């Protein structure tokens, strides 16, 4: 059992969210005040906004929110580091301040009321609580099909993920501190969190429409995210390429036997078209294999350099001196 009430931090990564931020802040402030009045969380619980190097007015709005309301804290990254790194920055900053941490996107498509279920499971002893979509009826057929293919594909590649779960989750302080011990640069939190092995629970909810603005995950980014997950947690693609290589080696041996027998029997050898077709096919497979191997080599290259995942430019909170990390 975890102690009640817990000091809760809600970490919200933001990138170009000026259109949605005022409404999101209003809703989160009211929701946390309600939880505090009910005795579900401690009065010093906070919302931490993490600006991921937004070129619009996102940080200007966060700065003003922190001046107006002690419930809010802000973290400004010096450069766009990506959603996963921005989330990691917020978790790192909040780790020593909170008993439990919830991560949620700024568009509030994820139902904030599901946090009540998160807290219930947390107080019952769960260290990790996953927010899981109960259904995808509001999604287009294409989005629903590609999302389900993503999770099923991950499972087949040996990557342990929670089906229909994104980055809406609660972590206890213990789970958070253990997660922050992971040192890889190529972050894929949906695959990293399940490897912690603590007691987990799931809370199901329906995802709503985006309040304003546009999605930060078009198809191109989703495909890149999927590649990041697979190559960070599985070597099955390399093994698949090896298997394809063996298949083509066997086919080459059969082709050589056929050619030899045809020559002995005096039959005409296959013509130019078939020769060119085989060259292009084998060449294509070789390029695919080189690309896959290159992806893994690139991952190793990024890891061994040990560059920082993010650089914090400014930390902001009411009644505290602004901190600029230089």
Residue 139 has pLDDT above 70, yes or no: no
303-325 pLDDT, tens digit per residue, is: 676 778 888 899 988 766 565 55
Pair (84, 108) in one structural domain? yes
CA distance 235 to 264: 44
From CA 245, how far away is CA 284, in angstroms rounded? 12
Closest by CA to 114, choosing from 34, 31, 203, is: 203
Q: 154 pLDDT exceeds 50?
A: yes
Domain assignment present for 226 = no
Residue 216 has pLDDT above 50, yes or no: yes
Q: For 141, how many CA atoms within 13 A lie in the half-sphere containing its CB?
A: 0
pLDDT band, very low/low/confident/very high, at 273 (cuts 50, 70, 90): very low
Q: Are 121 and 40 in contact (CB under 8 A)?
A: no
Residue 78 included in any domain: yes
Can you give the pLDDT at residue 300? 74
Whether residues 312 and 286 share a domain: the answer is no
176 falls within a domain? yes
Kindly state the average pLDDT of the residues 36-40.
94
Residue 223 lies in a domain: no
Q: What is the DSSP string of 147-204?
A: HHHHHHHHHHTT----TTEEEEEEEEHHHHHHHTT---SS--HHHHGGGG---EEEEE
Q: Say if residue 26 is in the same domain as residue 67.
A: yes
Q: pLDDT value at position 224?
A: 67
Of the pLDDT bands very low, low, confident and very high (cuts 50, 70, 90), residue 266 is low
3-state secondary structure of 128: strand
Answer yes or no: do 155 and 190 share one domain.
yes
Angstrom distances, CA of residue 146 to CA of 52, 92, 250, 284: 27, 32, 34, 26
More confident residue, 325 or 168: 168
Question: Is 225 contained in some domain?
Answer: no
pLDDT bracket for residue 82 (50, 70, 90): confident
In this predicted structure, what is the pLDDT of residue 67?
Answer: 92
**Other C-beta atoms within 10 Å of 138: how many?**
13
Task: Return the number of other C-beta atoms located less than 10 Å from residue 267's C-beta.
Answer: 11
Question: Can you give the pLDDT at residue 326?
Answer: 39
Q: What pLDDT does 302 receive?
A: 67
Are 204 and 245 in the same domain?
A: no
- Confirm if 110 and 168 have CB atoms less than 8 A apart: yes
258: left (phi over 0), alpha (psi -120 to 50) or beta: alpha
All residues at 6 or more sequence positions from 249 whose CB lies less than 8 Å from its CB, including other chains: none
- Domain-embedded: residue 324: no
For residue 68, what is the domain's CATH number?
A: 3.90.550.10
Q: Are residues 78 and 212 in the same domain?
A: yes
Instruction: Indicate if the pLDDT at residue 149 is higher than 90.
Output: no
In this structure, the answer to whether residues 213 and 248 fall within a common structural domain is no
Q: Quote the DSSP letter at residue 206.
A: -
Confidence of residue 103 (pLDDT cuts 50, 70, 90): very high
Say yes or no: 19 and 161 in one domain.
yes
> Does residue 162 sit in the same domain as residue 280?
no
208 in the same domain as 65? yes
| Average confidence score pLDDT of the chain | 81
On whether both 33 and 61 belong to a single domain, the answer is yes
Residues 134 and 251 in one domain: no
Other C-beta atoms closer than 10 Å to the C-beta of 170 total 29
What average pLDDT score do residues 82-110 get?
A: 92
- Does residue 323 belong to any structural domain of this protein? no
**Band (168; pLDDT cuts 50, 70, 90):** very high
List the domain range (segments joined by +) for residue 293: 236-305
Q: What is the DSSP string of 212-244?
A: SS--S--HHHHHHHHHHHHHHH--HHHHHHHHH
Q: What is the dihedral of CA 325, 323, 70, 214, to 10 degrees?
A: -40
pLDDT (mean) for 264-288: 63
In this prediction, residue 62 carries a pLDDT of: 95
How many domains in the chain? 2
Question: Does 130 reside within a domain?
Answer: yes
């Amino acid at each position: 059992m975890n102690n009640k009430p817990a000091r809760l931090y809600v970490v919200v990564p933001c990138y170009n969210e000026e259109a949605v931020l005022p409404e999101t802040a209003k809703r989160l402030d009211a929701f946390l005040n309600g939880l505090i009045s009910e005795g579900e969380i401690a009065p010093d619980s906070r919302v931490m906004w993490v600006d991921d190097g937004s070129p619009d007015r996102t940080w200007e709005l966060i700065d003003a929110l922190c001046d107006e309301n002690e419930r809010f804290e802000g973290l400004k990254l010096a450069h766009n580091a990506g959603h996963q790194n921005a989330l990691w920055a917020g978790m790192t900053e909040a780790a020593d301040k909170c008993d439990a941490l919830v991560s949620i996107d700024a568009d509030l498509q994820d139902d904030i009321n599901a946090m009540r279920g998160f807290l219930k499971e947390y107080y019952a002893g769960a260290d990790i609580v996953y927010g899981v979509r109960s259904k995808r009826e509001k999604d287009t057929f294409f989005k629903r099909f590609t999302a389900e293919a993503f999770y099923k594909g991950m499972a087949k590649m040996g990557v342990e993920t929670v089906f229909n779960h994104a980055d809406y989750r609660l972590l206890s302080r213990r789970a958070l501190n253990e997660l922050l011990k992971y040192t890889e640069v190529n972050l894929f939190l949906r695959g990293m969190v399940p490897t912690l092995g603590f007691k987990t629970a799931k809370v199901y909810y329906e995802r709503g429409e985006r309040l304003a603005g546009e999605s930060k995950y078009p198809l191109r980014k989703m495909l890149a995210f999927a590649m990041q997950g697979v190559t960070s947690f599985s070597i099955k693609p390399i093994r698949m390429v090896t298997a394809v290589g063996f298949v083509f080696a066997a086919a080459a041996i059969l082709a050589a036997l056929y050619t030899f027998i045809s020559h002995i029997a005096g039959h005409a050898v296959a013509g130019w078209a078939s020769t060119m077709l085989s060259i292009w096919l084998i060449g294509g497979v070789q390029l695919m294999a080189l690309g896959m191997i290159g992806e893994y080599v690139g991952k190793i290259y990024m890891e061994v350099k040990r560059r920082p995942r993010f650089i914090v430019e400014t930390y902001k909170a009411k009644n505290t001196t602004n901190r600029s990390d230089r």
